[in-house]
Structure 1
């Protein structure tokens, strides 16, 4: 076991901005393709309280398939694909830029938490209109598909440019915390794994996907569970255009505090592999670009 390997954050000192942006965009594209159906299920559970159609994951899958067809699991996928590309590229670009330009006298985990949070905030701002469009298109439970262009015109006619940022403030707060927790958890697991010299454990981890995949999935579960209620509130604000306090009160009044975690299971089923795939693909492409720089 080589304990002299560079930490996750230290390795970014050798990465150019173009490499970081490209790797982030490609990883975002792959992630979105893999988790689109799970995302639709999560959004429907977050937005609707129908006890028959959207009572559980299985009833949601059945309802979507029977009423809307198999293609419905990719509703809103066009803005979502663009969002993941823009978000992934801008997030990792910001992470690399901040890593190379901010000299903080902090341990690696705290530094990852701070820089990860800032990069998540930046990426959210850049990609938020696409996130809002994705939610509005995915919330359509009719057989027909909403037009992306018509939805843009509707938002603009009702609220102007600012309408594309409905719910952005809570989203920025949510993503800042979520991204910071994700990066710091990932870095903490990776760095502490290097201290393990017990061969059976090392061999077991290598056999079930390697520490990169395990750390990524674990980071996704930890971060998503802690901040999930904010994600649910954000989705409802995007559809209903109410403030966060009224939305919070309505959710608790209708479903109790457990209502804040409605759709958590598919969110975890999405978030864990999404984070794992994203970080794994990002490092894969970075290593590839180091061998074949551009």
Structure 2
């Protein structure tokens, strides 16, 4: 075939550019969605105060965090006083009485864990998809499944030690020196592999959500079981809260990532012309 008839070469984005695009998407998602979950938890706390040692779920659209209530006397952000009549009222009163920064009180654990996990997953997924398509062809249907599994395995493996450290920090207020001593002692006693304790259950939880794996039970069977137990309305349990939080989070993350790749692709194409 005449090389001149093949058209212009396809401009790709570099690994660093993909990482930057996914990192930007993760940070924007965290900044936009975190206030909604802070308000949700504050509303829950005023109706049913969290007792000492009680766990509650903090979810910002990128990652779920299982948090433990702090010891008595600590003025945690979810224990601050206030009587809210609803979501909008909570937003306004928190901003007026505590300052706008309070809406991002739960942001640090996201930036420490969810952002690296998101960057690793999206970047690995794109890199593996491109590699497999070049080897197996564009129409191979199993490529997204394989890429999703491997990318999630990589993300979970890298983040597992951070998960252990985060859990320890939530159980008690640790200084950085105390945290360093804890990690050093754990490694010396149980070896480096101890930092990845809990890796297998996390894989079993996260991998199925990263790929379309064939299930033993059909969707129709699952729906029938839900209707039998909880009625037709059971199919829509939790729909409104998830739409308010998860849908915008996914939209911001994916659109920012794709926009970033498109931007870098155009920049790379312009450089090639010169």
Cα shift at 1:271: 3.5
Does the 8 Å contact 1:155/1:163 carry over to 2? no
Structure 2 residue 52 is matched with structure 1 residue 52: no
**TM score, norm. by length of structure 1:** 0.49
Q: Which residue of 2 aligns with 1:35?
A: 33
Cα shift at 1:98: 0.8
1:51-84 per-position Cα deviation (integer Å, ceiling 9, x unaligned): 9315999xx9x954429x7767645633421323
Aligned pair partner of 2:183 in 135, 143, 156:
156
Cα shift at 1:285: 0.6
Structure 1: runs of 5 or more not aligned: 1-11, 141-145, 183-221, 223-262
Cα shift at 1:274: 2.5
The 3-state SS of whatever aligns with 1:180 is coil
The 3-state SS of whatever aligns with 2:207 is helix
Cα shift at 1:281: 0.8
- CA separation of 1:266 and 1:14: change in aligned 2, threshold 3 A: same
Q: Which residue of 1 aligns with 2:159?
A: 127
1:201-238 per-position Cα deviation (integer Å, ceiling 9, x unaligned): xxxxxxxxxxxxxxxxxxxxx9xxxxxxxxxxxxxxxx
Alpha-carbon separation, structure 1, partners of 2:106 and 2:180: 16
Cα shift at 1:289: 1.0
Q: Which residue of 2 aligns with 1:66?
A: 81
Cα shift at 1:118: 1.7
Does the 8 Å contact 2:34/2:106 carry over to 1? no
Cα shift at 1:287: 0.9
1:223-263 per-position Cα deviation (integer Å, ceiling 9, x unaligned): xxxxxxxxxxxxxxxxxxxxxxxxxxxxxxxxxxxxxxxx9
The 3-state SS of whatever aligns with 2:48 is coil
- CA separation of 1:138 and 1:116: change in aligned 2, threshold 3 A: same
Q: Which residue of 2 aligns with 1:194?
A: none
Q: Which residue of 2 aligns with 1:249?
A: none
Q: Which residue of 2 aligns with 1:275?
A: 250
The 3-state SS of whatever aligns with 1:53 is coil
The 3-state SS of whatever aligns with 1:14 is coil
Does the 8 Å contact 2:152/2:207 carry over to 1? yes
- The number of aligned residues is 194
Alpha-carbon separation, structure 2, partners of 1:108 and 1:269: 35
**TM score, norm. by length of structure 2:** 0.52
The 3-state SS of whatever aligns with 2:49 is coil
Q: Which residue of 2 aligns with 1:250?
A: none
Cα shift at 1:92: 1.9
Structure 2: runs of 5 or more not aligned: 1-9, 58-68, 70-76, 83-97, 214-218, 220-237
